[in-house]
Amino acid sequence: MTIHQTKPFDGQKPGTSGLRKKTPVFMQPNYLENFIQSTFDAIGGVAAKTLVLGGDGRYFGQEAAQTILKMAAANGAARVIVGQGAWLSTPAASNLIRVRKADGGIILSASHNPGGPNEDFGVKYNMANGGPAPESVTEAIYARSQEITEYRKLDAPDVDLAALGTVKLGDTTVEVVDPVADYADLMETLFDFPAIRALFAGGFRMRMDSMCAITGPYAREIFENRLGAAPGTVAHGTPLPDFGGMHPDPNPTWAHELMAEMTGENAPDFGAASDGDGDRNMIVGRGIYVSPSDSLAVIAANAHLAKGYKAGLKGVARSMPTSAAADRVAAKLGIACYETPTGWKFFGNLLDAGRVTVCGEESFGTGSDHVREKDGVWAILMWLNIIAARGQGVAEIVADHFRTYGRNYYSRHDYEALPKDVANAMLDDLRGRLTALKGVSTNGLTIESADEFSYTDPVDGSVSAHQGFRILFEGGSRAVLRLSGTGTEGATLRVYYERYVPGPDGLAEDPQEALAPVIAAAEDLVGIRAKSGRPEPDVIT
Ligand code: VG1
Ligand code: CO
């Protein structure tokens, strides 16, 4: 019996990065099956196709992988390449799709959201280029999920995902592969491993916090085995279904153990952390935290020092809320700079068309054209390569960058799990007043323009509207507001603040203090705290 009758579930609408729900929602009978069948249907079926499958090791991932394998078999897939233990980091899955010339892939992750029986789960479909499905596809998946009446699933025993090798599931070949090897090999082609090895051999100390999530095996293989970092460099290096209770979001709030070590006595030279599925990164020096927007700019300015990028960059792209620090580098290099909506899927066309080499988001995401996802371990290796090539530490590199380009002070304030109607009312009110804001002055700042960001993809001409509110002040400061598309509870309001200081004075302020006028102006104009009833944001990055 392979055909099962079913009925649509509400709300199977992929957000910024796939479908994310509370784990018990995904564990309801037919819920995952409906979404997978809708995905298969929306991409024209999977008959005779090759898929990649894996995830970040979180709770329910193994069971979900077994279901998907049986569904792929019943839908006629030729081959499914699955990471051992159903493990694949998001960038490694993207790489595997590309190197194996697969037709697509399914990634089981809710990324930086906690995992466990009462936490979050997620499913994302990636295309043959290795990148997240574009909006046209995610909309087709959603539309299909609203009319689905049946799904196909083979009645067969589970596949042994612990054993490497090839087995048959019906007529489908299931190939269980080492999740790390291909990815680690790719990294060796991009970065100067002998120079980084020499750095570690000279006593350079690093702490990598994998936060009990998927990068542990990758980080151990690459940093400790291949690059000679001291054994034990990788902390929390074993992926656990509940991430050991950690919230695997690499920012100063959630990676507080790393922050304490890096600001304490005898701190290592370099610290880094990554998220649940391994596509985010945080970079920390001894006593200094690098904001993700600055990290992107430093990478853009120095990437030519790594062997995979020595020909220079074709262009850079950043999401709209990300600071303009990278724009200044692009201007100096004389290369193109693109501003896209939030979410890695919007970089795919630019990367495929060869318009950009490096991309980044303020949400701890950086990557390049080596895959079609952001890539935490890649960014960390890029920093190590830059440190080795320049013979300078993180603090010196960042200070030198600010002296050269000026500093875009930057911070994001998140108000989590607000009632949806409260958040929507706040933004609807702002939308209604946008055009009237021009010329208004408050807290010493005058509004130059205010709009709602809409993006026209320069490659395929597709338009994505309602991508966040921008309030631009004279002098280059700005506040951006948008609602999260990855949360699973209520509405999360993200407010992004930026202020540019050209230097040479004023380059070493505390960002919250440097941004205080912009924060106060936004409060006056939007009433964030007043309307939400929240005196403080939940998370500041
Ligand atoms: C957030 C970030 C966005 C990122 C997305 C997926 O989305 O802001 O920049 O691309 O997460 O990252 P949102 O809609 O919640 O702001 V991950 O590491 O969760 O795949
Ligand atoms: Co992630």
Q: What is the pLDDT of residues 288-342, one digit of tens each?
A: 999 999 999 999 999 999 999 999 999 999 999 999 999 999 999 999 999 999 9
Task: For residue 467, name the pLDDT band (cuts at 50, 70, 90).
Answer: very high
Q: Quick one: what percent of the chain has pLDDT higher than 90?
A: 93
For the chain, what is the largest distance between any 2 Cα atoms, rounded to a whole number of angstroms? 73
What is the pTM assigned to this prediction? Answer: 0.94
348 lines ligand 1 (CB under 6 A): no
What is the rounded average pLDDT of the residues 372-399?
98
Taking Cα atoms as reference points, which of 453, 309, 471, 321 lies closest to residue 386?
Answer: 309
Ligand 1 centroid to residue 295 C-alpha, Å: 17
Task: Give 108-133 pLDDT, tens digit per residue.
Answer: 999 999 999 999 999 999 999 999 99
Q: What are the beta bridge partners of residue 282?
A: 273
Ligand 1 atom nearest to CA at 124:
20
Is the pLDDT assigned to residue 88 strictly greater than 80? yes
Task: Give 411-445 pLDDT, tens digit per residue.
Answer: 999 999 999 999 999 999 999 999 999 999 988 89
Ligand 1 atom nearest to CA at 362:
9
Atom 1 of ligand 1, nearest CA residue: 486
Contacts of 442 (CB under 8 A, 6+ apart): 520, 521, 524, 525
Taking Cα atoms as reference points, which of 307, 292, 312 lies closest to residue 367?
Answer: 292
Task: Give 262-285 pLDDT, tens digit per residue.
Answer: 999 999 999 999 999 999 999 999
318 lines ligand 1 (CB under 6 A): no
Q: Buried b / exposed e across 41-65, counting CB within 10 Å, b at 16+?
A: bbbeebeebbbbbbbbbbbbbbebb
**What pLDDT does residue 192 have?**
98
111 lines ligand 1 (CB under 6 A): yes
**What pLDDT does residue 7 have?**
97
Atom 10 of ligand 1, nearest CA residue: 343
**What pLDDT does residue 1 have?**
61
Ligand 1 atom nearest to CA at 485:
14
Query: The tokens 């055909």 sit on which residue?
Result: 3
Is the pLDDT assigned to residue 136 strictly greater than 80? yes
Domains of the chain, CATH where assigned:
3-179 (3.40.120.10), 183-405 (3.40.120.10), 407-540 (3.30.310.50)
Task: For residue 485, name the pLDDT band (cuts at 50, 70, 90).
Answer: confident
Classify burial at 7, counting beta carbons within 10 Å of its beta carbon; exposed 0-12, middle 13-18, buried 19 or more. Answer: exposed
The per-residue pLDDT of the chain, averaged, comes to 96
Is the pLDDT assigned to residue 476 strictly greater than 90? no
Is the pLDDT assigned to residue 489 strictly greater than 90? no
Task: For residue 488, name the pLDDT band (cuts at 50, 70, 90).
Answer: confident
**What pLDDT does residue 297 have?**
98
Which token pair is 531? Answer: 């309307």
Q: Is 361 within 8 Å of 319 (Cβ atoms)?
A: yes
Ligand 1 centroid to residue 362 C-alpha, Å: 9
413 lines ligand 1 (CB under 6 A): no
What is the rounded average pLDDT of the residues 192-218?
98
What is the rounded average pLDDT of the residues 191-200?
98
Q: Which listed ligand is nearest to 213 at the C-alpha? A: 2
Which residues are known to be catalytic?
A: 111
